[in-house]
Each structure stands twice: as structure tokens, then as C-alpha cells.
Amino acid sequence: MDVQGYKWVRWRVWLCRLGAALSLGLLLIVFHWRPRLAVLARCCSCPLALADILLIRDSFNQHHVVEVLTEEMEDGSLELLVELEDNECRDTVQLHKEEKTLLRYYLFEGLRYIWLARKGAFCRVSVLDENWTCKDLYDFQKGLSPLEQSVRRRMYGTNLIDVPVKPYIKLLFEEVLNPFYVFQVFSIALWLSDEYYYYAVCIFIISVFSIGLSLYEIRKQSITLRNMAQFVINVTVRRKSGAEECVSSEELVPGDCLVIPQEGLLLPCDAALLAGECLVNESMLTGESVPVLKTPLPTGEGRYSSETEQRRHTLFCGTQLIQAKGGSSGAVAVVTSTGFFTAKGSLISSIMHPQPIDFRFYQDSTKFLLILGFVALIGTIYSTVVLWRANVTWLALLIRSLDIVTIAVPPALPAAITTGTIYAQRRLKRKGIFCISPPRINVCGKVSVFCFDKTGTLTEEGLDVWGVMEGGTAGFSELVPDPRLLAPGPMLSGLACCHTVTLLQGQPLGDPLELKMVESTGWTLQEPEGDGKVLDAEFGGHRVLAVLKPPTQGTSTSEAVAIVRRFPFSSALQRMSVVTVARGGRSVLAFIKGSPEMVASLCRAETVPAQFSSELSGFSSEGLRVLALGYKPVDGSTDLRAIERGEVEKDMRFLGLLIMKNLVKPESATVINILRMANLRSVMVTGDNILTAVNVAKGCGMVGFNETVIFVNATAQTARSAPTLKFSLEEGGASVTQTSIVTRGGFEYHLAINGKSFAALCNHFPEYLPKVLLRATVFARMAPDQKTQLVKELQKLNYRVGMCGDGANDCGALRAADVGVSLSEAEASVASPFTSKTENISCVPLLIREGRCSLVTSFSLFRYMATYSLIQFCSVLILYTVKTNLGDLQFLYCDLVLATLLAIVMGAGGPSKELHPCRPSASLLALPVLGSLLIHTFMIVVGQLAVFFITTSQDWYVPLNSTFFGSANLPNMENTSVFFLSAFQFIIMAVVVTKGYPHKKPIFFNWIFLCVLLVLFAVTTWLVLYPGPVVCRILQLHDFLDMDFKMLLVAVAALNFVICFVAEVLVDRGLLNCFRFLRGRRQSKKQYKRINALLSESLSWPPLDQTLSPTEHTVIQCS
């Protein structure tokens, strides 16, 4: 973000005020559209330290203007800040310490930026706490003094996610100053001056209705967002004196010690949990409906960050704390972020200030408007010459010339092209898919690769226990299908205790995998009641979190154990652990559970069976989910409340494997096959084992059973070895040669890579990364941030990337993707642009079909509005030439009855039932689009000139009175014949540009559009053949008496339709491709297509069973 400082210059300000008065406010409108010009005109550049106004250029190259604010700090605050904060904060106040202590800051997109003199820049106020360590947070457990709290509140601001709801007057002012409505006001004023009263009044009424509806929707959305974002409750905080005080959540600041009651609450800030445990529903943020157990933050000097593995110790703003466990007073947490700096605030800000959509259709629409503006300029010059030669007054010449601009550039164009998106959004909502970013619906139509999470997305959320294998120095035991059959010992205790399952109103809650694991042991879960001191005393005085009791039936000799410390599962760490004690504080054991590779790496080597790798590969290749467990005794004299995770999770003893069956959802294979038949790549991105992922990929059809899987193994650089890269075939696969895996025009192999290799590939082999991305189908053991990185790397290759996940660990990837779909029961989740209530991926082809339908509809509407303006443009220029024009009600009939009505119902057609292999174009400036428009424009001009000359060649033709100009000449023969054909042309072009197959249903399925077409055709035909004296008088039409001539007009219209329709069909079939052959074949602009073409011709890729170094192998380059 680039920030420049400016100071007010008084004489410039007064000069701008004078210019605004002399231009009747036009200068202010320009300043409103271009704030940067307003700053440059009124201010002069200066250092940031002295600036009154800041000009901000964001990462999307958009400019914003903000005012620098100051706030007076309390007496004594300087010394307090020096004591509490680091040097950054001292600089903030010392620079301005004169007689008073002033804080200089500005607000941008809800975030507060304060001046830091040592850095010479404005920085986010969160910089003051970004280096907090876990130890620092525990120091805040004592609470803040009233003065400390007051000073922090002035610096950090109020704890509110404030979504402004503007009053109707301000909204009206901003809406009316929209370029679209400014053009409407200009047009209405022009029409009134030209005495087109009926038309001007109708457009005015429509504009008022449109503005009113727009204001209502904007305000309604703002109120809805504010109600979702902003809430104020009373919370209990601990003060430095030791007293607890009830305060408004608005007064919370980072560093406040928050006491959370046992019954929970809706959290008004981000906070780090220091004592107790909390069961939290985070579905509002992640879309994940399963409550999450939060555990206390570990002590130590490590830096605190809510975005890393410490997420499991962080309570996020806007999440519902279902219950808190921490004794009679509940749990204790320290506030870490407030307002827009919270996780919820960041998401609300992304909704209020969405990033611009980089989509060619929207970019080309602006360029196309410029083309129409150029056409309008030519028309203005022509009409000026014609009118000047007709000796009209200067005022009439000016009005008529400007009128051409309002005809050639249709003011309703921007609104019209959103019609298709609105229809698509309504259809999606009826089918349980909710969208918070409607412009992305069109982007869905261009998706070229779709990434899928595995667990809960492609496969069932729940798992069934397949069996248990105990392991040790002697190897693995036989597979035990039911954990209840295990002999009492560490393995059985580990399965029963190593989890974060908790009770809510007597019912167990937690991760579905852990619920199945505990259920399979038959052990029961008990949690402390009241202050829990009874259970604490029973288990040696340790603070008990939960007790697991063996089944009372049978001959089990196992005894109850208590969980006294939990370290929850982290996707980045791929493990979790617990510390347990037996009754009386005996037998203190630590258990670990996680990915087999990770657990084995943390166990003593001599305890890991020699067959570990082979057994793991065998189970994984069968598609089974495998977890490993380990344990170790812990010294009973150790302070278990202060023990660190790193100390617990080292030198473990390997216990064995837990094997679970994860079934592929029945819909997954069908959907993947649909995408494959439509030439859409499917990619799996999972945190599971790579062999399990490959098996699931084969099960759902991502990888064919006759297709080869090649594993990509990359190692990072170490002190003893250089980075390496190797491509090797899956074990047990058919023996193939280098050339046999490459096929003509395609490939029958898939690459599979895990998270470690992906990281090494990105860091040490960037030259190979694009080629691997182009052929990789399975990405396994991927951390959440790696999923996001993968999406961004695919986008760098010019892919339009879709991402479908359950929202839990996929939030970053869902938001980074062009099209993110969260499978959630929530109606709308801010985790992604799209939320589907369907718990499988069947929503994906539906979304793509709706996106393609919406994109094709937007194209049709854009072309129709363009041809509509060109039809009227040609009519007016022809009539100007003979000193006449269309009448007021004739304009009204063409614009409202014909064009507007047809544009509204044109987008009502639904999507095709099948996904076609080709995607619709997104370029309005492509050869077929411009070529067909030129052909249609030519036929429009020829048709209108034909009826004009046919009319003037009739024996009964009477020339109009050339002493008058414009509507004073009405009715006349020239006007009537041109008007009749132009009316038919509006209907003709609506049929011609409306596309059906392959992305939309045929036109006869859109029965509303079809009925309107037939009615309007019948009405227009009636106007031509039997108008009657009353209608002729109202519309200022000449009543031709020659029926043969009237039939000839209809025949010309029919011929015009046939020629345009045939031309459109031929263009669709590739008639204009001959021009591309003349131009010569060009490389695709999309990088992935260029790389794909080169890889298809290369017989040496991928280099099998060769160990590559970063500089050793020849790289395929793309120009």
C-alpha cells in the first residue's frame, strides 16, 4: 500500500470553490469521481509527518483519500506507554509532545493506522502487539489498571466492527452522482429541451423507481451486515487490583483479562485462552458445523500468532462459546485483537471492500462502451454537418447533435447486463447454493480446474474403525478388528484418552473420527462438575479435564484414567497429545496421535517396527485412513500444568496403528466424471496420506485405473545434502517405459506430491513447478497455508481455479480461489463466495452450468443493448438526412415496450442440463463477437435504407415538407416506413443474439421470453398492416393505403431476420476463422496451454527414476 502526504493550500481550496461555482457543480462531480484529482488540485505534497490528507494507492491500483486525525492523550500517559509498550509506541507520542500529548492516526477500511516516527510511516495499530510472546500474554492475566485500560482504548479505538449505515439523503446524493445516473439526468434534460415530454417523463419515473429500489437494497444490505457484525454485550474483566468488573464489550482493549462464564457467551473480540477449556462453535467463520475444543495457550517465549498452530488456543470474535470449563468461575482469556483487527472484522471488511474481480468480460465491457462512444462521435459529426446544411438554429443543432450521444451509448447497458446474474442467483438460492458475491457467478462459467478437499468433501465425514495393530520392537501384531478385544494396556488407554471429545448436556461432541475412536473402545467419558475439586482430589490433586472409564461389563481389568493436559490437533503439526494420570496420581502417561509418519518421527527408533513403512503403504494403498499412536511415562514430580508440548511429544514409544475406513460419497464419482467429460481438470488437495489420497482419487474417477501414477519426491536442502527431485512410479504399478506414458494429444499419467515435496519444489525447483502443477492430480499432506499457495500458483498459470471444501481447514484456499464453494449448513458463510447446503460436490457442476448460462446471457444482453442502440442510431441519422426524426411516443414504444421488456425477460432461460466440453468466451472484443456485430449492423443499415428507398420510389409517394425540421414534419412516409422496420429489427435481434445450446436451454424453454416475443411481433405486425386512425394519430404514423406495400415491409423484415439468423449461425460455426488463418497461428495467451503444448511434444518428460538437482536438468521454457 503506497501512502503519500498532502497539506491543504488555502488559495488552491478557494480557487477550486470558485471553479465549482462557475461550472455549476460540474467540477465537484469530477472530484467525486476522481478523488485523486481533488487532492492534487487543493493540496501540495509534504512529508507524512506533517500531512493533513493522505492519498492511498492500494494493491489493486485504486486511489483513496483519508484525513489524518489527532487525539489528545491523558496526562501521565506518555510515561505509562513508555513503560508498557516498546519503542514503537514511544515514537508515536514523543514526536508530538509539546504542551499536550497527541496521537496522529487515520482510519482506512475500518482499520486504525498510527504514526510511528522511528519508522517514518503510518502503521497498523496492531503493530504494537504483534511481537507479543506467550509469556507476555500470561503476564496480562493479572489485568490492566484503569489508566492502562484508558490509554489503550484511546490508541486502539472502540471495540466495534462498525458497518456504517448511511442516511437516505447521503445515499441518494452518492447514487445520483453515479456516472450512469448523471448521464440519465443529462439525457432527460436534453429530451425536455427538445419537447420529448412523454419519453422524458417515463424515463424519469423509471429512474426514480430504480434509484429508490437501489437505495432500499443498499441500505437493507448495510443494516443486515451491521446486525451481523456489530454487537455489544456486558463482559467481566479482571483488574490489576484483583477485582472483577462488569464492563461493556465496547471498552475492551488488547491486554484486557477476560473472565468467561461456564455457560459461555458470544465472543466480542479475539482472545487467547490462558486457563480452562472452551467448546466453541466456529461455523460463522469457517462453515464447519462441528464444535471445536479450545485449550489453554502453552507458556514459553515463543511468539504468539492466531494464524499458526496456536489457532487451537485462540477464541475468535463472533464465535459462540457453548461452554467453558475452568472451575466455578469459568475460563480466563486475554484479549489479543479488537474491532476490525479480529478474524471476524477482517472477513466483514472483505465483504465491505471486496477485491476487484479480474475478469475479462467486465474489462471488455468498458472498452466496448468506448467503441460505442467513438461511434457516437462519428454520428455527432455527421448530424452536425447535416443540421448545419439544413440551416437549423444553433440551439437546435446543439440539442440534436447531443441527442445522438444518448442514442448511441445506451445508458441502461450496465444495468441490463446484470439481469442474467440476478436470474442465476435466484435459481442457485432455490437449489440451496447461496452467493455473497454475485459478479463471481459469471466467473464460474470460465473455471478450468477445480480443487477438492478429500475428507468430508469427496469422502464421508464419518469413519468406521477397520481395526487396530499393536507394534513394537518385535514387529506388528495381528490386526484386531475391534479395539474392545485389545488386552488392557497403553494401546487401549491411548485409544480411549488421546482425543478432544467433550460433553455438552451429556452428549459427546467432537471430531467425527475421534468420536468413532472413543466409541469403538466402549469407554465412557465423564467431566468434572462444579469446581471439580472432588475429581482433582481423586486423581492426586491434578487439575482434571476429563475422566475415561472402562466398560463395567466383561472381564476388563483396565482402570479409569484422567486427562490432565491436552495439546489439540494442529493441521500444521499433524498430531495431538494428552497427559493422563491414574487414580491417586499414579502412572502419569503421555499419549500422542497423528499421521503415522509424524508420530514415527517423534518415537524412539528402536520402538518403531521394521515393517512400519510396508504396512503403512499397504493400508494406505487400499484407501484406508491410518493413524499412529505412541506413549511414554512422565515423571510424576513434573508440574503438569506448566509442561510444554515439545517436552511431551519427544522420545515417545511407538504403540501401533489405528486403521479406519473412509468411504467415498456416492455422488463424488458421478460429479468427477461429469467434469472430466467436460474437459475440466479435477485436483485433490488433502491433509491425508498420499497413498490413501491416490486410492480415493482412483475410487472417485480422478485417476483412471488404467492410468499411471508418478510420485514426485523433492527434498529440501540440509547441512549434509543438496536439494533433490525425483519422479518415481507407484509401487505395484505396471512397468512402463519413458515413451509409453506419453500419448498423442494428451497424457495418461498423473503426478502425486505431498506437502513436504511441494514446499521443496517451490523453494528449490521453481523451474519445474509449472510443469508439475500441470500434470499433478493428487496433493497430499498439505497444510492449510499450502492449499492457499497451491491455488495462487495455479492462478499464476492463468487457470480459473475453483475450490470446494468443508470450510474448516480450507478457508484461505476458498477465499483465494476464483470460485470458492463451502459445503456448510449455514445459509451464508463468509468463508467463501458460495455456500452449498448440499453435503456433497453435486453443487459444483450445477454452479458451473449456472455460471456458463449467466455468462452467455450477459453476452446476449450486451450485444442486444448494443444492437438496439445501433438500430435507433441508424434510424435517427437516416431521418436527420431528410429533415425529420422519430416521434416522442415512437421512441417510447421502441425503448420501453420493445427493448426494455425484451431485455428483462431474455435472461430468464435456465442452464443446459449437461456440461459441454467447450467453455463460453469471456471476451467481448473477440473476432466472432465483433464480426457478428459488424454483419448485423450492416444488415440493419441496408434494411432501413432499403425500406426508405422503396418508400420514396412508390407512385403515390409524397415528399415531406422540407421547410420544417424534426417532429414538426410528422407524420410522414419516410418516418413511418423506417419506424416500422426498426421496430421489427428490435424483435429480430432479440431472437438472433439469444444463445441456447450448448450452455443454455433452447429458446422455447424460456416461455416468458417466447410469449413476449410473439405478443410484440403480433402488435408490431398489426401496427404495420391495420393501425387504424386513432393509433396513427397517437404515434404520429402515416397510414399507408397500399396493402401490397405493407406486406412488402413485413417481407423485408422477414428477409432481414433470415439473413441475420443465418449469419449468426455461420459465425457460431466458425465462418470467421478464415481470418485467423490469414493472420497465422498464434500461441495462446494462457500460460498453462503453452506449457501443455510443449509437454505434449516432449518425450523426456517426466524424467523417471532420475535424481535431479536444481541446475542439472534441461528445463522447458515458454516464451
What positions carry a catalytic annotation? 453
**Number of other CB atoms surrounding residue 44 within 10 Å:** 11
- The DSSP call for residue 735 is P
Alpha carbon of residue 547 to chain centroid:
43
Q: What residues contact residue 757 under an 8 Å CB cut-off, 6+ apart?
A: 712, 713, 714, 715
Cell of 706: 488404467
Contact 913, 851 (CB under 8 A): no
658 forms beta bridges with 468, 627
Residue 407 vs residues 184, 264, 991: alpha-carbon distances, Å: 12, 63, 22
**What radius of gyration do the chain's Cα atoms show?**
36
Q: How far apart are CA 517 and CA 520, in angstroms?
A: 5
Q: What is the DSSP letter of 114?
A: E
- 1103, 727 Cβ separation under 8 angstroms: yes
Report the C-alpha gap between 857 and 442 in whole angstroms.
Answer: 10
- Coil, helix or strand for 494? helix
Helices and strands in the chain, H and E counts: 39, 40
* Alpha-carbon 681 to chain mean position: 20
CA atoms within 13 A on the CB side of 142: 8
Closest among 962, 976, 971 to 386, alpha carbons compared: 962
CB 4 within 8 A of CB 55: yes
The phi, psi pair for 476, rounded to 5°, reads: -90, 145
Q: How far apart are CA 787 and CA 572, in angstroms?
A: 12
Widest pairwise Cα distance in the chain: 119
Give the integer Cα–Cα distance in Å for 78 and 147.
11
Q: Are 336 and 272 in contact (CB under 8 A)?
A: yes
Angle (nearest 5°) at CA 482 between 476 and 487: 65
Q: Rounded to 5 degrees, what are φ and ψ at 251? A: -90, 0
Rounded to 10 deg, the angle between the 197-229 and 168-176 helix axes is 130
d(CA 286, CA 284): 6
C-alpha cell of residue 774: 500441470
HEC profile of 295-358 = CCCCCCCCECCCCCHHHHHEECCCCEEEEEECCCCCEEEEEEECHHHCHHHHHHHHHHCCCCCC
Q: How far is 891 from 219, CA to CA, in rounded Å?
A: 34
- 167 prior amide bond cis, ω within 30: no
Angle between helices 394-408 and 360-389 (to 10 degrees): 150
Distance CA 853, CA 914 (A): 11
Question: Distance between CA atoms of 49 and 69, rounded to whole angstroms?
Answer: 12
The one-character DSSP state at 36 is: H
